[in-house]
Structure 1
């Protein structure tokens, strides 16, 4: 990595969660298109996934879209809910190289799909509206659907805004068929899209090019001309384009229109070599544009530079890792939560030995007075022998940090800041059963998406 990159990226580390310099310092949330909804439903703006649909209790709604695996596909098609009360005891063989018929761990207590993902039930007098429809299940129950896909809630969500059951972010080509939160479309012009990252909701063009703001611009006025405009292309607003939500149109010069977001003129970077790049934010005065930033992590954590990008780290600068897991039953239940079977994790981090796991991927422990202002982060107690959730008063229980109700870890081979020996550890680069670094930015492999 070049010296100029290091010099430029260091100031970025301190402001990774902050808005662009000319934007308001207070947290801003993503605007969304108003859509018709049946009675009893609402939109809740979550901290990481942006606006999501929720039921009357505020619990996030999810869908299970079809995902191709190596030996078939899982998920649900439009109008065909398959999540039911079946208790699977063997794997499906869809995630090779494992053959079908292998017994799943803890089959005696393994829940059914509906116990983990309760269906959103529609009353007998429920009527469709907009993209909301009512579909019939094989068990005779009427279920709400959005855009044709059946809707569910997650038992992991407790309060409005929780999105612990799934994510819109990419989960890797060899990862399991995960559930995704569903919400209203973002209020962005057709020329733009939003990419969900762990650092926030990144604004890009419809072609995938990153969008940037310039600190030397004034609200509603561009100060980037001449050589600046050759390196940073103003994003043109077509003659037919109209202002939309927080997107406005400014006039650079007579007849030349440019898009602006929250009064900041918008640009793309000519030197960007990859889609969704964040390298332009290394240039002094320039920053990526987010419709919504992720909350700052607790003060126990730091941000560190690596050979490929930026990661979250503990107070010593050691890279933080998250654990991914999905079993291979037909209902594709996740096994990354401490309440799920720990056999998968114990196998990949310690050959089945809990003590070895604690040495290889130790938990990030939390101090007695540790707190978080965000619901994304919490403190939980873990039984070090079983890996399951423990009661606070249990003897020997570990007090650890958790992200989205899942513990986070470091790796024993990482000796100093920026080391990544545990990234992609496990099956299929850590996406199916293994560990991934807590990527905030990856300039080469798209690990941050």
Structure 2
């Protein structure tokens, strides 16, 4: 699955306390954070360290309208109203003024993401699924969504040519090291230890042997994705965004809690 520039360059928005009018549009991993119109929200690198948001002015604002706030709005979690130097109130996220893009004609799209290398769509980080897994396996958020990693944070992969017998052997294992299971390991949820013919005990997830990739040198790397058209990242679905309560917040009306 290809990942859009908008998602690859996005700023992730975590679950927590949000203003009531903020919504989530689209499907993972392209779930964009939006205003009440449903249009995607953005932040601008030119505003970094400048709460006045002065870097986007005049004709810039014709293309990138601010997410307007009212003078009597109050902060909600990481969302805060800020006063621009043109004396207009604007919502910010974690200190960064937030905008729309006039090139987005419908909800769930982010045509402005990555624009000029300085505009970034706000993407909902999602809620990590709760999985039963071996202690050495973790769930991490990447640009493609939530993926499985080993204890070092190295991305896990499956090999399409594996069948009843492993197809990755000998030199292949030097490039694609198997995720090893302990000698006394037993089945755990969707995880099963498999005794290979070469004597290696390897974990399988949902019936597929899992590997790391020697070309991944950093914990965020996914360089083995779709290698040769046969190596795939092990992805897991995020839990859906859900408001689990509301409370009155000053004159802003209400906030909502996105479950963590």
With the length of structure 2 as denominator, give the TM-score of the two structures: 0.58
Q: Secondary structure at the match of 2:19?
A: coil
Question: For residue 123 of structure 2, what is the aligned residue in structure 1?
Answer: 183
Residue 216 and residue 225 in structure 1: after superposition, are their counterparts in 2 closer, same or farther (change >3 A)?
closer
Question: For residue 267 of structure 1, what is the aligned residue in structure 2?
Answer: 211
Equivalent of 1:153 in 100, 105, 124: 100
Where do 1:347-386 residues align within 5 Å? none
The alignment of Structure 1 onto Structure 2 pairs a total of residues equal to 203
CA RMSD of aligned residues (A): 4.5
Residue 33 and residue 142 in structure 1: after superposition, are their counterparts in 2 closer, same or farther (change >3 A)?
closer
Question: For residue 91 of structure 2, what is the aligned residue in structure 1?
Answer: 144
Equivalent of 1:36 in 17, 20, 31: 17
Q: Distance in 2 between matches of 1:259 and 1:145?
A: 44
Q: Secondary structure at the match of 1:160?
A: coil
Q: Conserved in 2, the CA contact under 8 Å of 1:76 and 1:82? A: no
Q: C-alpha displacement at 1:148, in angstroms?
A: 1.2
Question: Is the counterpart of residue 192 in structure 1 residue 140 in structure 2?
Answer: yes
Residue 160 and residue 291 in structure 1: after superposition, are their counterparts in 2 closer, same or farther (change >3 A)?
farther
Q: C-alpha displacement at 1:51, in angstroms?
A: 1.5
**TM-superposition CA deviations, 1:79-98 (whole Å, max 9, x none):** 34124543xxxxxxxxxxxx
Structure with greater proportional strand content: 2
Higher relative contact order (CA 8 A, sep 6+): 2
Residue 130 and residue 179 in structure 1: after superposition, are their counterparts in 2 closer, same or farther (change >3 A)?
same
Q: Distance in 2 between matches of 1:158 and 1:51?
A: 16
Q: Which moved more, 1:32-41 or 1:265-274?
A: 265-274
Question: For residue 245 of structure 2, what is the aligned residue in structure 1?
Answer: none
With the length of structure 1 as denominator, give the TM-score of the two structures: 0.36
Equivalent of 1:115 in 42, 62, 65: 62
Question: For residue 281 of structure 1, what is the aligned residue in structure 2?
Answer: 227
Question: Is the counterpart of residue 82 in structure 1 residue 54 in structure 2?
Answer: yes
Q: Distance in 2 between matches of 1:277 and 1:34?
A: 28
Residue 235 and residue 37 in structure 1: after superposition, are their counterparts in 2 closer, same or farther (change >3 A)?
farther
Question: Is the counterpart of residue 250 in structure 1 residue 222 in structure 2?
Answer: no
Q: C-alpha displacement at 1:279, in angstroms?
A: 7.1
* Consecutive unaligned residues in structure 2, runs of 5 or more: 3-12, 130-137, 182-188, 195-200, 238-260
Question: For residue 58 of structure 1, what is the aligned residue in structure 2?
Answer: 38
Q: Distance in 2 between matches of 1:147 and 1:177?
A: 20
Q: Secondary structure at the match of 1:114?
A: helix
Q: Conserved in 2, the CA contact under 8 Å of 1:193 and 1:205? A: no
Q: C-alpha displacement at 1:177, in angstroms?
A: 4.7
Q: Distance in 1 between matches of 2:176 and 2:88?
A: 55
* Consecutive unaligned residues in structure 1, runs of 5 or more: 1-15, 18-31, 66-73, 87-111, 238-247, 293-449
Residue 33 and residue 116 in structure 1: after superposition, are their counterparts in 2 closer, same or farther (change >3 A)?
closer
Q: Distance in 1 between matches of 2:202 and 2:14?
A: 24
